[in-house]
Protein backbone atom coordinates (compact mmCIF):
# COMPACT_ATOMS: atom_id res chain seq x y z
CA UNK A 1 0.00 0.00 0.00
CA UNK A 2 2.68 2.54 -0.99
CA UNK A 3 0.11 5.34 -1.49
CA UNK A 4 -0.63 5.34 2.25
CA UNK A 5 2.98 6.21 3.15
CA UNK A 6 4.32 9.57 4.26
CA UNK A 7 7.23 11.19 2.40
CA UNK A 8 9.72 9.99 5.00
CA UNK A 9 8.35 6.44 5.00
CA UNK A 10 8.27 6.26 1.21
CA UNK A 11 11.78 7.64 0.68
CA UNK A 12 13.16 5.20 3.27
CA UNK A 13 11.62 2.30 1.35
CA UNK A 14 12.75 3.65 -2.01
CA UNK A 15 16.30 4.05 -0.75
CA UNK A 16 16.25 0.50 0.64
CA UNK A 17 15.00 -0.77 -2.75
CA UNK A 18 11.92 -2.25 -1.07
CA UNK A 19 9.72 -0.36 -3.48
CA UNK A 20 10.06 1.47 -6.80
CA UNK A 21 8.92 5.01 -7.57
CA UNK A 22 6.82 3.54 -10.35
CA UNK A 23 4.99 1.32 -7.89
CA UNK A 24 4.37 4.30 -5.60
CA UNK A 25 3.00 6.44 -8.43
CA UNK A 26 0.91 3.56 -9.80
CA UNK A 27 -0.56 3.02 -6.32
CA UNK A 28 -1.65 6.69 -6.19
CA UNK A 29 -3.14 6.45 -9.70
CA UNK A 30 -5.02 3.27 -8.72
CA UNK A 31 -6.32 4.99 -5.62
CA UNK A 32 -7.62 7.87 -7.76
CA UNK A 33 -9.40 5.36 -10.00
CA UNK A 34 -10.92 3.67 -6.96
CA UNK A 35 -12.20 6.67 -4.99
CA UNK A 36 -12.07 9.92 -6.92
CA UNK A 37 -15.22 9.59 -8.97
CA UNK A 38 -17.20 10.44 -5.82
CA UNK A 39 -14.69 12.59 -3.95
CA UNK A 40 -13.76 14.76 -6.95
CA UNK A 41 -10.39 15.85 -5.55
CA UNK A 42 -8.77 15.87 -8.99
CA UNK A 43 -9.91 18.01 -11.91
CA UNK A 44 -7.59 16.05 -14.20
CA UNK A 45 -4.43 13.96 -14.10
CA UNK A 46 -1.93 12.78 -16.67
CA UNK A 47 -1.08 9.19 -15.71
CA UNK A 48 1.37 8.61 -18.53
CA UNK A 49 3.41 11.71 -17.70
CA UNK A 50 3.44 10.75 -14.01
CA UNK A 51 4.67 7.21 -14.70
CA UNK A 52 7.38 8.54 -17.02
CA UNK A 53 8.67 10.82 -14.25
CA UNK A 54 8.55 7.93 -11.78
CA UNK A 55 10.53 5.72 -14.18
CA UNK A 56 13.15 8.47 -14.43
CA UNK A 57 13.34 8.57 -10.61
CA UNK A 58 13.83 4.81 -10.52
CA UNK A 59 16.65 5.12 -13.05
CA UNK A 60 18.26 7.86 -10.96
CA UNK A 61 18.02 5.73 -7.81
CA UNK A 62 19.53 2.77 -9.68
CA UNK A 63 22.39 5.06 -10.71
CA UNK A 64 23.07 5.97 -7.11
CA UNK A 65 21.09 9.19 -6.65
CA UNK A 66 20.38 9.75 -2.96
CA UNK A 67 17.59 11.30 -0.94
CA UNK A 68 20.19 13.40 0.88
CA UNK A 69 20.71 15.28 -2.37
CA UNK A 70 17.11 14.98 -3.62
CA UNK A 71 14.79 14.65 -0.62
CA UNK A 72 11.68 14.04 -2.76
CA UNK A 73 13.20 11.61 -5.25
CA UNK A 74 10.39 9.35 -6.47
CA UNK A 75 7.67 10.99 -4.34
CA UNK A 76 4.32 11.61 -6.12
CA UNK A 77 3.10 15.12 -5.33
CA UNK A 78 -0.17 16.60 -6.60
CA UNK A 79 -0.73 20.26 -7.36
CA UNK A 80 -3.63 22.65 -6.76
CA UNK A 81 -4.96 23.72 -10.14
CA UNK A 82 -3.83 27.32 -9.67
CA UNK A 83 -0.07 26.67 -9.95
CA UNK A 84 1.42 26.44 -13.45
CA UNK A 85 3.03 23.16 -14.53
CA UNK A 86 4.52 23.37 -18.02
CA UNK A 87 2.48 21.61 -20.72
CA UNK A 88 -0.28 20.66 -18.26
CA UNK A 89 -3.78 22.19 -18.06
CA UNK A 90 -4.45 25.12 -15.72
CA UNK A 91 -8.10 25.86 -14.93
CA UNK A 92 -8.13 27.61 -11.53
CA UNK A 93 -11.42 25.76 -11.01
CA UNK A 94 -12.98 28.06 -13.62
CA UNK A 95 -14.59 27.73 -17.04
CA UNK A 96 -13.01 30.97 -18.20
CA UNK A 97 -9.59 29.47 -18.89
CA UNK A 98 -11.13 27.03 -21.39
CA UNK A 99 -8.53 24.45 -22.47
CA UNK A 100 -5.54 26.53 -21.37
CA UNK A 101 -2.24 24.62 -21.37
CA UNK A 102 0.49 26.24 -19.33
CA UNK A 103 3.42 27.39 -21.50
CA UNK A 104 5.69 27.82 -18.49
CA UNK A 105 6.34 26.46 -15.02
CA UNK A 106 5.98 27.92 -11.53
CA UNK A 107 9.20 28.31 -9.52
CA UNK A 108 7.91 25.95 -6.81
CA UNK A 109 7.36 23.24 -9.42
CA UNK A 110 10.93 23.63 -10.65
CA UNK A 111 12.13 23.29 -7.05
CA UNK A 112 10.05 20.15 -6.50
CA UNK A 113 11.42 18.68 -9.74
CA UNK A 114 15.00 19.50 -8.72
CA UNK A 115 14.30 17.63 -5.48
CA UNK A 116 13.21 14.61 -7.54
CA UNK A 117 9.43 14.75 -7.04
CA UNK A 118 6.96 13.23 -9.48
CA UNK A 119 4.55 16.09 -10.23
CA UNK A 120 1.09 14.92 -11.15
CA UNK A 121 -2.57 15.88 -11.14
CA UNK A 122 -4.56 19.10 -11.05
CA UNK A 123 -6.39 19.42 -7.74
CA UNK A 124 -9.91 20.79 -7.37
CA UNK A 125 -10.48 24.18 -5.74
CA UNK A 126 -12.90 27.05 -5.35
CA UNK A 127 -12.78 29.09 -8.54
CA UNK A 128 -9.71 31.34 -8.46
CA UNK A 129 -9.25 30.29 -4.81
CA UNK A 130 -12.33 32.27 -3.77
CA UNK A 131 -14.21 30.26 -1.21
CA UNK A 132 -14.13 28.17 1.93
CA UNK A 133 -15.82 24.99 0.72
CA UNK A 134 -14.75 24.08 -2.86
CA UNK A 135 -18.44 24.48 -3.76
CA UNK A 136 -17.40 27.33 -6.05
CA UNK A 137 -15.50 25.04 -8.41
CA UNK A 138 -16.81 24.95 -11.97
CA UNK A 139 -16.02 21.22 -11.82
CA UNK A 140 -18.26 20.47 -8.84
CA UNK A 141 -17.34 20.30 -5.14
CA UNK A 142 -14.58 18.13 -3.73
CA UNK A 143 -16.36 16.04 -1.09
CA UNK A 144 -15.27 15.50 2.49
CA UNK A 145 -14.01 11.90 2.78
CA UNK A 146 -15.27 11.63 6.39
CA UNK A 147 -18.84 12.44 5.29
CA UNK A 148 -19.45 12.92 1.60
CA UNK A 149 -22.51 15.09 2.23
CA UNK A 150 -20.14 17.68 3.68
CA UNK A 151 -17.70 20.18 2.26
CA UNK A 152 -13.98 19.46 2.07
CA UNK A 153 -13.18 23.05 2.99
CA UNK A 154 -11.55 25.49 0.68
CA UNK A 155 -10.22 26.84 -1.34
CA UNK A 156 -7.59 24.03 -1.46
CA UNK A 157 -10.27 21.38 -0.84
CA UNK A 158 -9.01 19.01 -3.53
CA UNK A 159 -5.49 19.14 -2.06
CA UNK A 160 -6.74 18.27 1.43
CA UNK A 161 -8.96 15.42 0.20
CA UNK A 162 -6.21 13.92 -1.99
CA UNK A 163 -3.78 13.85 0.95
CA UNK A 164 -6.37 12.62 3.46
CA UNK A 165 -7.39 9.64 1.33
CA UNK A 166 -3.88 8.81 0.05
CA UNK A 167 -4.41 9.71 -3.61
CA UNK A 168 -1.00 11.38 -3.42
CA UNK A 169 1.80 11.49 -0.86
CA UNK A 170 1.67 15.27 -0.40
CA UNK A 171 0.17 18.26 -2.19
CA UNK A 172 0.67 21.96 -2.83
CA UNK A 173 -2.07 24.45 -2.08
CA UNK A 174 -2.39 28.21 -1.77
CA UNK A 175 -3.62 30.20 1.21
CA UNK A 176 -5.03 33.72 0.90
CA UNK A 177 -7.30 33.70 3.97
CA UNK A 178 -7.03 30.15 5.30
CA UNK A 179 -7.32 28.17 2.08
CA UNK A 180 -4.70 25.60 3.15
CA UNK A 181 -5.29 25.46 6.91
CA UNK A 182 -9.11 25.25 6.89
CA UNK A 183 -9.46 22.33 4.42
CA UNK A 184 -6.60 20.55 6.19
CA UNK A 185 -8.57 20.87 9.45
CA UNK A 186 -11.80 19.66 7.83
CA UNK A 187 -10.17 16.63 6.16
CA UNK A 188 -7.74 15.64 8.93
CA UNK A 189 -4.33 16.43 7.47
CA UNK A 190 -1.52 18.92 8.12
CA UNK A 191 -1.73 22.29 6.33
CA UNK A 192 1.13 24.81 6.42
CA UNK A 193 0.90 28.44 5.30
CA UNK A 194 4.39 29.93 5.23
CA UNK A 195 5.14 33.58 5.92
CA UNK A 196 4.42 36.00 3.06
CA UNK A 197 7.63 36.21 1.02
CA UNK A 198 9.02 32.83 2.14
CA UNK A 199 7.96 30.92 -1.00
CA UNK A 200 8.05 32.27 -4.55
CA UNK A 201 4.67 32.87 -6.16
CA UNK A 202 5.96 33.02 -9.72
CA UNK A 203 3.52 30.81 -11.61
CA UNK A 204 0.74 31.04 -9.01
CA UNK A 205 -2.34 32.62 -10.57
CA UNK A 206 -2.94 35.74 -8.47
CA UNK A 207 -6.10 36.23 -6.43
CA UNK A 208 -5.14 38.83 -3.78
CA UNK A 209 -1.49 39.65 -4.28
CA UNK A 210 -0.75 41.10 -0.85
CA UNK A 211 -2.20 37.99 0.86
CA UNK A 212 -1.57 34.96 -1.41
CA UNK A 213 1.00 32.38 -0.35
CA UNK A 214 1.82 28.88 -1.62
CA UNK A 215 2.05 26.17 1.04
CA UNK A 216 1.76 22.46 1.68
CA UNK A 217 -0.75 19.77 2.65
CA UNK A 218 0.87 16.67 4.09
CA UNK A 219 0.16 13.60 6.21
CA UNK A 220 2.37 14.74 9.07
CA UNK A 221 4.57 17.59 10.28
CA UNK A 222 7.86 15.99 9.27
CA UNK A 223 6.63 15.93 5.67
CA UNK A 224 5.57 19.58 6.00
CA UNK A 225 9.12 20.49 7.06
CA UNK A 226 10.63 18.48 4.19
CA UNK A 227 8.35 20.18 1.66
CA UNK A 228 9.03 23.64 3.07
CA UNK A 229 12.79 23.02 2.96
CA UNK A 230 12.42 22.35 -0.77
CA UNK A 231 10.03 25.12 -1.87
CA UNK A 232 11.36 28.05 0.21
CA UNK A 233 13.80 30.69 -0.91
CA UNK A 234 14.28 33.91 -2.81
CA UNK A 235 13.28 34.01 -6.47
CA UNK A 236 14.38 36.86 -8.73
CA UNK A 237 11.14 36.33 -10.68
CA UNK A 238 8.98 37.19 -7.64
CA UNK A 239 9.84 40.63 -6.30
CA UNK A 240 7.87 39.92 -3.10
CA UNK A 241 10.00 36.91 -2.21
CA UNK A 242 12.52 37.60 0.54
CA UNK A 243 16.30 37.23 0.50
CA UNK A 244 16.70 35.16 3.61
CA UNK A 245 18.47 31.88 4.33
CA UNK A 246 16.40 28.72 4.38
CA UNK A 247 17.07 26.79 7.60
CA UNK A 248 16.35 23.08 8.05
CA UNK A 249 12.76 23.31 9.25
CA UNK A 250 12.98 19.95 11.02
CA UNK A 251 16.05 20.96 13.03
CA UNK A 252 14.02 21.59 16.20
CA UNK A 253 12.24 18.23 16.04
CA UNK A 254 12.91 16.10 19.10
CA UNK A 255 13.67 19.02 21.39
CA UNK A 256 11.21 19.47 24.23
CA UNK A 257 8.90 22.47 24.56
CA UNK A 258 10.32 23.79 27.84
CA UNK A 259 10.23 27.55 27.83
CA UNK A 260 8.00 27.80 24.75
CA UNK A 261 5.30 30.40 25.39
CA UNK A 262 1.90 29.85 23.83
CA UNK A 263 -0.72 32.60 23.76
CA UNK A 264 -4.49 32.13 23.67
CA UNK A 265 -6.32 35.16 22.26
CA UNK A 266 -9.13 36.19 24.58
CA UNK A 267 -11.11 37.46 21.58
CA UNK A 268 -11.22 34.01 19.95
CA UNK A 269 -13.65 32.66 22.58
CA UNK A 270 -16.46 34.27 20.61
CA UNK A 271 -19.97 33.16 19.88
CA UNK A 272 -20.16 30.73 16.99
CA UNK A 273 -17.35 28.51 18.30
CA UNK A 274 -18.72 24.97 18.38
CA UNK A 275 -18.40 23.44 21.90
CA UNK A 276 -16.94 20.18 20.58
CA UNK A 277 -14.30 22.07 18.60
CA UNK A 278 -13.55 24.21 21.64
CA UNK A 279 -13.16 21.16 23.90
CA UNK A 280 -10.80 19.38 21.49
CA UNK A 281 -8.64 22.45 21.03
CA UNK A 282 -8.60 23.12 24.80
CA UNK A 283 -7.45 19.53 25.36
CA UNK A 284 -4.69 19.94 22.76
CA UNK A 285 -3.48 23.13 24.40
CA UNK A 286 -3.51 21.45 27.81
CA UNK A 287 -1.40 18.69 26.31
CA UNK A 288 1.07 21.22 24.88
CA UNK A 289 1.29 22.56 28.44
CA UNK A 290 2.04 19.07 29.77
CA UNK A 291 4.76 18.77 27.11
CA UNK A 292 6.51 21.78 28.62
CA UNK A 293 4.96 24.87 27.02
CA UNK A 294 3.79 27.80 29.15
CA UNK A 295 0.27 28.82 28.21
CA UNK A 296 -1.10 32.29 28.86
CA UNK A 297 -3.94 34.50 27.71
CA UNK A 298 -3.17 37.30 25.26
CA UNK A 299 -5.24 39.93 23.48
CA UNK A 300 -5.67 40.65 19.77
CA UNK A 301 -8.00 43.64 20.22
CA UNK A 302 -8.82 44.22 16.53
CA UNK A 303 -9.96 40.65 15.84
CA UNK A 304 -13.56 41.66 15.24
CA UNK A 305 -12.46 43.84 12.30
CA UNK A 306 -10.46 41.17 10.49
CA UNK A 307 -13.21 39.71 8.31
CA UNK A 308 -14.36 43.13 7.10
CA UNK A 309 -10.77 44.21 6.41
CA UNK A 310 -10.02 41.02 4.54
CA UNK A 311 -13.07 41.16 2.29
CA UNK A 312 -12.30 44.71 1.23
CA UNK A 313 -8.60 44.15 0.53
CA UNK A 314 -8.97 40.72 -1.05
CA UNK A 315 -11.84 41.68 -3.35
CA UNK A 316 -10.18 44.94 -4.40
CA UNK A 317 -7.00 43.12 -5.36
CA UNK A 318 -9.00 40.37 -7.05
CA UNK A 319 -10.91 42.87 -9.19
CA UNK A 320 -7.58 44.14 -10.54
CA UNK A 321 -5.90 40.73 -10.90
CA UNK A 322 -8.82 39.13 -12.70
CA UNK A 323 -9.04 41.95 -15.26
CA UNK A 324 -6.63 39.85 -17.34
CA UNK A 325 -9.36 37.36 -18.19
CA UNK A 326 -10.87 39.35 -21.06
CA UNK A 327 -11.16 36.83 -23.88
CA UNK A 328 -8.19 38.11 -25.92
CA UNK A 329 -4.92 36.55 -24.84
CA UNK A 330 -6.01 33.20 -23.48
CA UNK A 331 -8.96 31.12 -22.40
CA UNK A 332 -12.54 31.04 -23.53
CA UNK A 333 -14.23 33.84 -25.47
CA UNK A 334 -17.84 34.78 -26.11
CA UNK A 335 -18.03 36.99 -29.21
CA UNK A 336 -19.45 40.51 -29.17
CA UNK A 337 -19.89 43.33 -31.65
CA UNK A 338 -17.11 45.41 -30.08
CA UNK A 339 -14.28 44.72 -27.62
CA UNK A 340 -16.21 45.85 -24.55
CA UNK A 341 -19.26 43.71 -25.25
CA UNK A 342 -16.95 40.78 -26.03
CA UNK A 343 -15.17 41.31 -22.66
CA UNK A 344 -18.48 41.57 -20.83
CA UNK A 345 -20.01 38.52 -22.46
CA UNK A 346 -16.82 36.47 -21.96
CA UNK A 347 -16.55 37.35 -18.29
CA UNK A 348 -20.29 36.98 -17.72
CA UNK A 349 -20.27 33.46 -19.15
CA UNK A 350 -16.84 32.39 -17.88
CA UNK A 351 -16.86 33.40 -14.21
CA UNK A 352 -18.95 31.70 -11.56
CA UNK A 353 -21.19 33.63 -9.21
CA UNK A 354 -18.81 33.97 -6.23
CA UNK A 355 -16.06 35.33 -8.48
CA UNK A 356 -18.51 37.82 -10.00
CA UNK A 357 -19.66 38.85 -6.55
CA UNK A 358 -16.11 39.47 -5.37
CA UNK A 359 -15.06 41.32 -8.52
CA UNK A 360 -18.15 43.54 -8.23
CA UNK A 361 -17.47 44.20 -4.56
CA UNK A 362 -13.80 44.90 -5.26
CA UNK A 363 -14.57 47.17 -8.19
CA UNK A 364 -17.03 49.08 -6.04
CA UNK A 365 -14.65 49.66 -3.12
CA UNK A 366 -11.96 50.90 -5.51
CA UNK A 367 -14.28 53.09 -7.55
CA UNK A 368 -14.11 56.86 -7.60
CA UNK A 369 -15.49 58.38 -4.41
CA UNK A 370 -15.30 55.18 -2.36
CA UNK A 371 -11.58 54.38 -2.36
CA UNK A 372 -10.75 56.28 0.85
CA UNK A 373 -13.80 55.07 2.75
CA UNK A 374 -13.21 51.41 1.98
CA UNK A 375 -9.85 50.38 0.57
CA UNK A 376 -7.61 52.95 2.25
CA UNK A 377 -9.42 52.53 5.57
CA UNK A 378 -9.09 48.74 5.33
CA UNK A 379 -5.36 49.08 4.70
CA UNK A 380 -5.10 51.20 7.85
CA UNK A 381 -7.05 48.68 9.93
CA UNK A 382 -4.75 46.04 8.48
CA UNK A 383 -1.87 47.92 10.13
CA UNK A 384 -3.68 47.73 13.48
CA UNK A 385 -4.29 43.99 13.06
CA UNK A 386 -0.65 43.38 12.18
CA UNK A 387 0.49 45.45 15.17
CA UNK A 388 -1.76 43.35 17.46
CA UNK A 389 0.13 40.24 16.35
CA UNK A 390 3.60 41.76 16.53
CA UNK A 391 2.85 43.00 20.03
CA UNK A 392 1.52 39.58 21.07
CA UNK A 393 4.67 37.95 19.71
CA UNK A 394 6.75 40.07 22.09
CA UNK A 395 5.08 38.10 24.90
CA UNK A 396 4.62 34.66 23.36
CA UNK A 397 6.27 32.48 20.71
CA UNK A 398 3.14 30.91 19.29
CA UNK A 399 -0.57 31.74 19.20
CA UNK A 400 -2.92 28.76 19.42
CA UNK A 401 -6.58 28.56 18.38
CA UNK A 402 -9.07 26.40 16.54
CA UNK A 403 -8.45 26.46 12.78
CA UNK A 404 -12.17 26.80 12.07
CA UNK A 405 -15.04 27.54 14.47
CA UNK A 406 -16.93 24.41 13.40
CA UNK A 407 -16.20 21.08 11.76
CA UNK A 408 -17.07 20.69 8.06
CA UNK A 409 -20.59 21.89 7.27
CA UNK A 410 -23.06 20.35 4.83
CA UNK A 411 -22.71 21.02 1.12
CA UNK A 412 -25.20 23.78 0.27
CA UNK A 413 -25.67 24.84 3.90
CA UNK A 414 -24.08 28.27 3.51
CA UNK A 415 -24.08 28.59 -0.26
CA UNK A 416 -26.89 31.18 -0.33
CA UNK A 417 -25.37 33.33 2.39
CA UNK A 418 -21.89 34.57 1.45
CA UNK A 419 -21.48 36.70 4.59
CA UNK A 420 -22.01 33.65 6.87
CA UNK A 421 -19.46 31.78 4.77
CA UNK A 422 -16.96 34.63 5.14
CA UNK A 423 -17.44 34.76 8.91
CA UNK A 424 -16.35 31.11 9.17
CA UNK A 425 -12.82 32.26 8.19
CA UNK A 426 -12.41 34.27 11.39
CA UNK A 427 -9.45 32.34 12.86
CA UNK A 428 -7.43 32.03 9.68
CA UNK A 429 -7.65 35.30 7.77
CA UNK A 430 -5.74 37.41 10.30
CA UNK A 431 -2.54 35.47 9.60
CA UNK A 432 -2.67 36.60 5.97
CA UNK A 433 -3.45 40.20 6.89
CA UNK A 434 -0.53 40.17 9.36
CA UNK A 435 1.75 38.25 6.93
CA UNK A 436 2.73 35.67 9.55
CA UNK A 437 2.93 31.88 9.27
CA UNK A 438 0.48 29.25 10.48
CA UNK A 439 -0.15 25.53 10.57
CA UNK A 440 -3.21 23.36 11.16
CA UNK A 441 -2.75 19.90 12.65
CA UNK A 442 -5.38 17.26 13.48
CA UNK A 443 -6.39 17.40 17.17
CA UNK A 444 -9.54 15.32 17.50
CA UNK A 445 -12.97 14.44 16.16
CA UNK A 446 -16.52 15.56 16.79
CA UNK A 447 -19.11 13.10 18.06
CA UNK A 448 -20.13 12.81 14.38
CA UNK A 449 -16.57 11.64 13.53
CA UNK A 450 -15.50 14.80 11.70
CA UNK A 451 -11.89 15.96 12.07
CA UNK A 452 -10.98 19.04 14.12
CA UNK A 453 -7.89 21.18 13.53
CA UNK A 454 -5.59 22.98 15.96
CA UNK A 455 -4.03 26.12 14.50
CA UNK A 456 -0.62 27.36 15.62
CA UNK A 457 0.44 30.80 14.38
CA UNK A 458 4.06 31.95 14.44
CA UNK A 459 6.13 35.08 14.02
CA UNK A 460 7.13 36.17 10.52
CA UNK A 461 9.62 33.51 9.36
CA UNK A 462 8.91 31.51 12.53
CA UNK A 463 7.96 28.33 10.64
CA UNK A 464 10.60 26.29 12.51
CA UNK A 465 9.01 27.10 15.85
CA UNK A 466 5.41 26.23 14.90
CA UNK A 467 6.59 23.06 13.17
CA UNK A 468 8.55 22.05 16.27
CA UNK A 469 5.53 22.55 18.55
CA UNK A 470 3.19 20.82 16.08
CA UNK A 471 5.61 17.92 15.73
CA UNK A 472 5.99 17.46 19.47
CA UNK A 473 2.19 17.44 19.82
CA UNK A 474 1.89 15.00 16.94
CA UNK A 475 4.42 12.62 18.52
CA UNK A 476 2.30 12.55 21.67
CA UNK A 477 -0.99 11.89 19.87
CA UNK A 478 -2.28 9.71 17.05
CA UNK A 479 -4.91 11.96 15.46
CA UNK A 480 -2.80 12.43 12.32
CA UNK A 481 -2.77 8.68 11.69
CA UNK A 482 -6.58 8.39 11.44
CA UNK A 483 -7.90 7.77 7.96
CA UNK A 484 -11.48 7.91 6.67
CA UNK A 485 -13.17 4.76 5.41
CA UNK A 486 -14.31 5.33 1.85
CA UNK A 487 -17.38 3.45 0.70
Partner 1 sequence: MEIDLQHVVKLARIDLTPDEEARIRPQVEEILKYVEKLGELDVSDVEPTAHAVPLTNVMREDEIQPSLSHDDAMRNAPKKSNGLFVVPKIVE
Catalytic residues: 80, 155, 179
Contact present, 398 and 261 (Cβ < 8 Å): yes
Q: Based on the shown chain and the rule CB under 8 A, indicate whether residue 337 belongs to the binding site for partner 1.
A: yes
390-409 residues in contact with partner 1 (CB under 8 A) are none
Contact present, 298 and 392 (Cβ < 8 Å): yes
Q: Based on the shown chain and the rule CB under 8 A, indicate whether residue 207 belongs to the binding site for partner 1.
A: no
Q: List Cβ neighbours of 77 (8 Å cut-off, separation of 6 or more).
A: 112, 117, 118, 119, 120, 168, 169, 170, 171, 172
Contact present, 135 and 412 (Cβ < 8 Å): yes
Cα–Cα distance list, 382 to 359, 374, 376, 433 (Å): 20, 12, 10, 6
163-192 residues in contact with partner 1 (CB under 8 A) are none
Q: Based on the shown chain and the rule CB under 8 A, indicate whether residue 92 belongs to the binding site for partner 1.
A: no
Residue span binding partner 1 (CB under 8 A) among the ranges 13-21, 98-106, 134-142, 448-456: 98-106
Q: Based on the shown chain and the rule CB under 8 A, indicate whether residue 483 belongs to the binding site for partner 1.
A: no
Residue span binding partner 1 (CB under 8 A) among the ranges 121-129, 142-150, 171-179, 306-314: 306-314
| Least distance (Å) between residue 140 CB and partner 1 | 20
| Least distance (Å) between residue 157 CB and partner 1 | 22
User: What proportions of the chain, in percent to the nearest 5, are helix, strand and coil?
Assistant: 45, 15, 45
Contact present, 443 and 280 (Cβ < 8 Å): yes
Residue among 52 and 242 whose Cβ is closer to partner 1: 242
35-74 residues in contact with partner 1 (CB under 8 A) are none
Q: Based on the shown chain and the rule CB under 8 A, indicate whether residue 308 belongs to the binding site for partner 1.
A: yes
Pair type for strands 190-193 and 437-445: antiparallel
Residue among 183 and 197 whose Cβ is closer to partner 1: 197
422-451 residues in contact with partner 1 (CB under 8 A) are 422, 433-435
Strand-pairing partners, residue 192, are 216, 439
Q: Based on the shown chain and the rule CB under 8 A, indicate whether residue 319 belongs to the binding site for partner 1.
A: yes
Residue among 181 and 347 whose Cβ is closer to partner 1: 347
Judged by CB under 8 A, the residue of 25, 343, 430, 455 near partner 1 is: 343
Query: What is the rounded distance in angstroms from the CA atom of residue 487 to the CA atom of residue 484?
Result: 10
Residue among 341 and 481 whose Cβ is closer to partner 1: 341
Return left, alpha or beta for 121; rule: phi > 0 is left, psi -120 to 50 is alpha, else beta: left
Q: Based on the shown chain and the rule CB under 8 A, indicate whether residue 311 belongs to the binding site for partner 1.
A: yes
Cα–Cα distance list, 215 to 191, 287, 337, 438 (Å): 8, 27, 43, 10
Q: Where are the beta strands (DSSP E) in 219-364?
A: 261-265, 294-298
Residue span binding partner 1 (CB under 8 A) among the ranges 152-160, 181-189, 352-360, 476-484: 352-360
- Of the candidates 124, 130, 128, the one whose C-alpha atom is nearest the C-alpha of residue 144 is 124
| Least distance (Å) between residue 332 CB and partner 1 | 6
Q: Based on the shown chain and the rule CB under 8 A, indicate whether residue 202 belongs to the binding site for partner 1.
A: no
Residue among 297 and 353 whose Cβ is closer to partner 1: 353
Judged by CB under 8 A, the residue of 173, 197, 464, 484 near partner 1 is: 197
- Of the candidates 250, 249, 243, 252, the one whose C-alpha atom is nearest the C-alpha of residue 198 is 243
Q: Based on the shown chain and the rule CB under 8 A, indicate whether residue 304 belongs to the binding site for partner 1.
A: yes
Pair type for strands 213-218 and 451-458: unpaired
| Least distance (Å) between residue 419 CB and partner 1 | 6
Residue span binding partner 1 (CB under 8 A) among the ranges 141-149, 238-246, 407-415, 442-450: 238-246
Amino acid sequence: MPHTLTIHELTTQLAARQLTAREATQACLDRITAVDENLNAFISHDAQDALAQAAAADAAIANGASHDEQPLLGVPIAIKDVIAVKNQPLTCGSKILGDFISPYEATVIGKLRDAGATIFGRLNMDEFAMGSSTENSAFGPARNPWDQERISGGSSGGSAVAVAVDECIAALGSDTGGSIRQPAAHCGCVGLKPTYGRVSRFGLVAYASSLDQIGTLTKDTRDAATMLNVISGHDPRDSTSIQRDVPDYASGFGENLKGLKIGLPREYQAAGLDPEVRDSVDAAIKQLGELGAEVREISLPHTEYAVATYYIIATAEASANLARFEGVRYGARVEGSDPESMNRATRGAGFGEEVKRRIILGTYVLSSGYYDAYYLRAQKVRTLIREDFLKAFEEVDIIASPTSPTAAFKIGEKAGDPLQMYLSDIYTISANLASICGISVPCGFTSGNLPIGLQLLGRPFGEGKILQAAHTYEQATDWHTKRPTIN
